[in-house]
A and B are shown apart, each in its own frame.
Chain A
Amino acid sequence: MITSLSALPTVFSIGLQRQFAYRWNYLLRALFSAMPLLVSWVFWGAVFQDKKTVGPYTLASLLTYYAVLLIVESVSSPADDDFQISREIREGSLNSILLRPLPYGLYRGALFLAGRCAYLVAALIPVALCFFLLSRVVPLELSSLDLGRGIPALLGSALLQFSLTLCLSLTSFWLLDISSLIFLVYSLEFLAGGHVFPLDLLPPALFQVAQFLPFAYEYWFPAASLCGTLSHSAWQIGLGMQFGWALFFLLLAHILWQAGLKKYTAAGG
């Protein structure tokens, strides 16, 4: 096991090199990801024209939420790990990985980490530029960011998103094409995860329901934790839910992997 773990830094390094080979692709991706923030600025600017607050938010606190979402996305959202895993299973390149004395979950985890690090570096400049430009127009409340609560929630979000991605991708053992399933879950993540609007703008009953689902802990919870809008008890409960869901999906991924391997047929040389 220890020998296996010692291979992880090498896997991480290979993953990092692979990601930086396509640095332009990364830079473009990061630049485009700042676009929704600009759109939010224009749209919510019009909403707040005649109002000082919408729900619990002022214009500045709402835009801070969207700006913080960019950080959450950079740190925790998988790039195309789902499609890579699916391809490995479908096309049989999993064969060579199975022969290595390294658990597949850890192997993918190291690649996910490398991808996030590469993206974070590539995204730094456009995100910082976007923050700078926006802060000239709107007083973003970036000085009041709560890193003490935000960082554990960010790490939890990364673990949750990775484990959910792993579960979705492993269905490739049974399904020929999982892209429709992935895009369906994306849409749920966007709506019920607080990507389109903060979940506390929902009617109270729907907000309660959303807090039971895993999606809320992918975006809304880490963003709200960083913005410092949660009470201490709400943050503790949220963190428990987040890691609970991450553990659930890791266990589910393990079960899917074991069942999938029994079905998997390695063909070809």
Chain B
Amino acid sequence: MSSLLHLFRLWFTQIRYAATRELAFRANFFVWVIVELSWFILQLAFVDVVYQHVDSIAGWSRPQMIVLVATNQLIQQIFTAFFMPGLVKLPELVRDGKLDFVLLKPTPPQFLISTSHLEIGPLANAVIAAVVVTFALHDLHITPSLPSVLLYLLLLLAGLLTHYALLLTLVSLTFWIIQAESVLLGYYSIFQVARLPREAAKGWFRILFTFALPLLLVANIPATTLLRGSQPASLILFLLTSLTATLFASLFFQLGLRRYQSASS
């Protein structure tokens, strides 16, 4: 318990340091908010164009689809703020041998790598995504109850775990493939699945992205909880699969770490 508290304290210190570093370049912060926002607008524009031609997709109306897309954006932006900047630096650390400095510290390397950086810009975009969810719910005349909102927040955490598991697995490939920069492209490509309404997926695609890689659950389950109330079976499935995926990713990272050979003299 005390070691867990120690890790939290360490994380808080790292966040404070990273935030100071980020705020030293305020113009950069605003530019990145605009860049990330443009990608979100792109997704909303896509929804808008498609719904010019149809009224419903797999049982999802336009405002419901906006709740789904914005929920996905919310999770992705929180993940991008806290964990992604550190994780994507792993290939460079391995290639240059700088991972040595991480391994020498008396703290689990996975924790240090995952929490070493922070980007504040995505947090601003997470707030914008939350506002879009609120407006879409207003459009649908839905006022979620407090338990629904709390459950939604818990499910966002499970969504974060799923993002974390996938990216940790992908960057851990760097222990086998020296130049693994394309893993970021892989992460973004694979996570397009999370924006799909779950009912649209059929057959092997649905099985693969529900049980093996629970991407179809990441935004769908929280969004459905807000829109249609909670479905216990889906909730349990999502929590279990996200935890299993994180455990697997962690083991994969440890396996990769055993192959690491310092690049320095």
Which A residues have a C-beta under 8 Å from some C-beta of B?
Answer: 22, 24-26, 28-29, 31-33, 35-36, 38-39, 42-43, 45-47, 49-51, 54-55, 80, 177, 180, 183-184, 187-188, 190-191, 196-197, 201-203
Contacts and interface: CB of A to CB of B under 8 A. Distances in A.
Given A28-B173, A80-B181, A187-B39, 5 more contacts: A29-B186, A33-B185, A47-B50, A54-B50, A184-B34
Contact of A28 (B54, B186, B202): B186
A180 B29 CA distance: 10
Contacts of B157: none
A28 B189 contact: no
A79 to B, nearest CB: 9
B205 A25 contact: no
A90 to B, nearest CB: 15
Contacts of A36: 189, 192
B234 interface: no
A61 B215 CA distance: 28
B179 interface: yes
Interface of B is mostly: helix
Interface of B: 28, 31-32, 34-35, 38-39, 42, 45-46, 49-50, 52-54, 57-58, 173, 177-183, 185-186, 189-190, 192-193, 196-197, 199-202, 205
Nearest to B192: A39
B189 A177 contact: no
A85 B202 CA distance: 44
Nearest to B91: A25
Contact of B57 (A33, A47, A177): A47
A258 to B, nearest CB: 27
Contacts of A28: 173, 177, 180, 182-183, 186
A111 B256 CA distance: 33
A32 B53 contact: no
A36 B199 CA distance: 18
A29 B42 contact: no
Given A25-B181, A28-B186, A32-B182, A39 B53 contact: no
Nearest to B53: A54
A180 B121 CA distance: 12
A54 B39 CA distance: 24
Nearest to B181: A25
Contact of B42 (A51, A177, A191, A202): A191
A50 B58 CA distance: 10
Contact of B49 (A25, A39, A45, A197): A197
A196 B42 contact: yes
Given A24-B177, A55-B53, A32 B35 contact: no
Contacts of A31: 186
Contacts of A190: 42
B57 A180 contact: no
Nearest to B42: A191
B193 A197 contact: no
Contact of B58 (A46, A183, A191): A46
B14 to A, nearest CB: 23
Contacts of B182: 25-26, 28-29, 32
